[in-house]
A and B are shown apart, each in its own frame.
Chain A
Amino acid sequence: MWDFPEALYIDIGQYIEKLVRWMLVNMSGFFDAVTQVIIWVLLRVQDGLAFIPWWAYVALVFLAGWRLGNWKRGLSYAFMLFLVGAFGLWGLMIYTLSIVFVSVFISLLVGIPLGVAMAKFLRFGQILKPILDAMQTMPSMVYLIPAAMLFGLGLVPAVFATTIYALPPIIRLTYLGLMNVNKEVKEAGQSFGSTGWQLLQKVELPQALPTIMTGINQTTMMAMSMVVLSSMIGARGIGQEVLTSINRLEIGRGFNAGFAIVFIAIIFDRILQGAANRFKTSE
């Protein structure tokens, strides 16, 4: 009698399932179109990334590290990238990167306007905040299921799941950045008779830029972690290596892939953070 009575069981999941199934039936045209577009963009990005020779990446990373920090940093980032190649994972890395880039791009495209809307319409913000909390706490693998149902297997559901997972930080930090714009600076903008759009574009967004840059950094990090998981629904990339080594209990192979992911993440993080700091000091 101490057990929770079965009569009181509620199944929230079934409604989400119903929704997804309904979308599948009634919105298949839409999803097909989205799939086509994403695939097209992904392939272009992949082609573009593959077109650049490996040493150009290494050189680029070195330059970025050097300009944003010092030559030692540049050198260490370049070495890390070199190691990824040396592990034999260069080709898979290009796949991974293309998913990350496309997902981050879509996240920014959707997330920044949403962040602005949150800051401008506080009521909307109050509704969105708990949703964002839920999105960030939800175990990331759960996103894979509807993604796979809606888009099938492969790259597109990976992009979809990654985008959803990577979305909250950019929304949140855009919102935060806008809310923290110095009150007097905003008043100054208003006092000269700016329209709402002028204020946003000429005052608020530029002032919030350092925070938004931090958001871009976090979103990219989230995308990096999700893209690994998305290999579970058939996306190519370094995550595939991890998955294979789990299945076959190949410790060495697993750690090679793991380190490669860590290296890429570090390079992204440091370079984006360096760029964000650059904006901060230019205030």
Chain B
Amino acid sequence: MEEEYKIKIEGVSKVFGHGSQKALALLDEGMPKEKVMEKTKCAVGAYNVDLSIREGDTFVIMGLSGSGKSTLIRCINLLNRPTRGRICIDGENIVEYDKDQLKEFRRHKVSMVFQHFGLLGHRNVLRNVEYGLEVRGIDKDKRREMSMQALETVGLKGWESYHPRQLSGGMKQRVGLARALANEPDILLMDEPFSALDPITREQLQNELLKLQDELHKTIVFVTHDIDEALKIGDRIAVMAKGSILQYDKPEDILKNPVNGFVESFVGSDRLWKTPDMLRAEDIMSKKVVEIGAGRSVAHAIELMKEHNTNVLAVVDKVSPRPNKLLGIVGTNRLKGVTDHSVKMGDIMKTDVVEIPHSMNLTEVLGIRKDKKIQYSPVVDDDGKVIGIITNASIVNVLTDIVPEAEEY
């Protein structure tokens, strides 16, 4: 599905300095980056990066400083010209653009928001927001109208005639955002836009960006070094280090399955615990489900429990037309009082079980279990088939894996 992607980055490398091609050749031979830098005096910003960014996604590039994330995002509007590779936007390779095409591309398709705002100190707020429209040659009344609209969108109505120096950091970045939005681009590039702000303002602006994105559906490429920000904002996250992409995935997949130790340490082993929304029912269930047909006897059930070392059985329909459909569950408590070991499962099973969809998140699962005071919650897949069971024990097991190891006392 080629056309599904708005931006396709293919084999992009950026090496700064003279002799960049030579440095690239050395890298291709497998020489480590540090050695190449030392030998050629070139700085390797990004090496063989492949990324596909879907239209309307907020795509987060995350990495420490020096990881090449800012280099990479600057390739997307050619503030950095890739030393090698293709960047296709709407199917056109922008690296091959000539001067005029590039100008038009920057004027209409892509706008950028900068870490330190990049505002023009000699212009007031309105004239800053107008800048992009002004260089396009849009007439004064029209661009004023569009800029006022953009300022209203970011909540800066009434601040038009102030100068950037009179504004707080958060407001400056709103101006930066309004300036980018005024141009009505398809793609918004945001290079650590909230890093220079205090935590409270940062959170506020993150929320506003999320809200804005719900309405605008721009394709956003967002660079950050802050994992919390990445998880909050990103539909997809790419983790970068030393100029290469280590992993790119949905946020929850990065948390659950970090590809290597670096990503794991970057994400933080306790991260999942701090963001319980990312834990799904399928992550906290015990996958050991022992099924028993509704027509089986108590004796059989006791045997099964012993054999599988479990104290709960899922009673399923072994008779067509609905094979393996969950009917109820039987725990040890239900068996205790029964003296007649020939009683069928279908008669003593607990039938008012709450089936948990596999994608329900931890907070909701815990809520249901608390409200309904239930001990065993079977987890079903999309077809209604039981794939696991959540018990107090399974929750504890998962949490002990996630929670950082306790300090020793």
Binds A, one of B132-140, B149-157, B263-271, B275-283: B132-140
Task: Tell yes or no: B115 within 8 A of A by CB.
Answer: yes
Q: Is there an interface contact between B77 and A191, defined as CB atoms closer than 8 Å?
A: yes
Q: Produce 1/0 per residue, B177-215, CB < 8 A to A.
A: 001000100000100000000000000000000000000
Select one of B103, B106, B115, B134 contacting A202, CB under 8 A. B134
Chain A: interface size category: 20 to 34
Q: Is there an interface contact between A195 and B120, defined as CB atoms closer than 8 Å?
A: no
Contacting B at CB under 8 A, from A161-214, are 182, 184-185, 187-195, 198, 202-203, 206-207, 209
Cβ of B128 to closest chain A Cβ, rounded Å:
9
Cβ of B111 to closest chain A Cβ, rounded Å:
7
Q: Is there an interface contact between A187 and B118, defined as CB atoms closer than 8 Å?
A: yes
Report A-chain residues with C-beta under 8 Å of the C-beta of B114: 184, 187-188
Report B-chain residues with C-beta under 8 Å of the C-beta of A203: 120
Q: Produce 1/0 per residue, B144-186, CB < 8 A to A.
A: 0000000000000000000101000000000000010001000
Task: Tell yes or no: B344 within 8 A of A by CB.
Answer: no
Q: Is there an interface contact between A191 and B106, defined as CB atoms closer than 8 Å?
A: yes
Cβ of A122 to closest chain B Cβ, rounded Å:
13
Q: Produce 1/0 per residue, B21-39, CB < 8 A to A.
A: 0000000000000000000
In Å, the complex CA distance between A265 and B163 comes to 34
| Number of inter-chain CB pairs below 8 Å | 75
Q: Is there an interface contact between B136 and A193, defined as CB atoms closer than 8 Å?
A: yes
Q: Is there an interface contact between A192 and B106, defined as CB atoms closer than 8 Å?
A: yes
Report B-chain residues with C-beta under 8 Å of the C-beta of A11: none
In Å, the complex CA distance between A206 and B104 comes to 24
Q: Is there an interface contact between B119 and A193, defined as CB atoms closer than 8 Å?
A: no
Contacting A at CB under 8 A, from B4-52, are none
Q: Is there an interface contact between B118 and A192, defined as CB atoms closer than 8 Å?
A: no
**CB closest residue in chain A, given B104:** A193
Q: Is there an interface contact between B103 and A195, defined as CB atoms closer than 8 Å?
A: yes
Contacting A at CB under 8 A, from B304-342, are none
Report A-chain residues with C-beta under 8 Å of the C-beta of B103: 193, 195
Task: Tell yes or no: B372 within 8 A of A by CB.
Answer: no
Q: Contacts A187-B112, A202-B131 known; A192 to B183 CB distance under 8 Å?
A: yes
Q: Contacts A202-B131, A202-B135, A283-B165 known; A191 to B112 CB distance under 8 Å?
A: yes
In Å, the complex CA distance between A203 and B132 comes to 12
In Å, the complex CA distance between A190 and B120 comes to 13
Task: Tell yes or no: B116 within 8 A of A by CB.
Answer: yes
**CB closest residue in chain B, given A186:** B118
Cβ of B148 to closest chain A Cβ, rounded Å:
18
Q: Is there an interface contact between A193 and B107, defined as CB atoms closer than 8 Å?
A: yes
In Å, the complex CA distance between A190 and B103 comes to 9
Task: Tell yes or no: B79 within 8 A of A by CB.
Answer: yes
Task: Tell yes or no: B367 within 8 A of A by CB.
Answer: no
Report B-chain residues with C-beta under 8 Å of the C-beta of A191: 77, 79, 106, 110-112, 189
Task: Tell yes or no: A14 within 8 A of B by CB.
Answer: no
**CB closest residue in chain A, given B131:** A192
Q: Is there an interface contact between A185 and B118, defined as CB atoms closer than 8 Å?
A: yes
**CB closest residue in chain B, given A283:** B121
Cβ of B381 to closest chain A Cβ, rounded Å:
47
Select one of B106, B122, B189 contacting A207, CB under 8 A. B122
Q: Is there an interface contact between A192 and B116, defined as CB atoms closer than 8 Å?
A: no
Q: Is there an interface contact between B120 and A192, defined as CB atoms closer than 8 Å?
A: no
Cβ of B2 to closest chain A Cβ, rounded Å:
27
Task: Tell yes or no: A282 within 8 A of B by CB.
Answer: yes
Cβ of B98 to closest chain A Cβ, rounded Å:
13
Name the residue in A187, A195, A198 with the highest tally of chain B Cβ atoms < 10 Å from its Cβ. A187
In Å, the complex CA distance between A88 and B199 comes to 67
Q: Is there an interface contact between B107 and A192, defined as CB atoms closer than 8 Å?
A: yes
A sample of 13 more A-B contacts (CB under 8 A), given A187-B112, A188-B114, A193-B105, is A182-B116, A182-B118, A184-B114, A187-B118, A188-B119, A191-B189, A192-B106, A192-B135, A193-B136, A206-B122, A207-B121, A207-B122, A282-B121
> What are 22 inter-chain pairs, A to B, with CB distance below 8 A?
A182-B116, A189-B120, A189-B131, A191-B77, A191-B79, A192-B131, A192-B135, A192-B179, A193-B105, A193-B107, A193-B132, A193-B135, A198-B135, A202-B120, A202-B131, A202-B135, A207-B121, A207-B122, A209-B122, A282-B163, A283-B121, A283-B122
For the complex of A and B, the 7 pairs showing the least CB-CB separation, nearest first, are: A188-B118, A193-B106, A193-B107, A192-B132, A283-B121, A184-B118, A191-B112
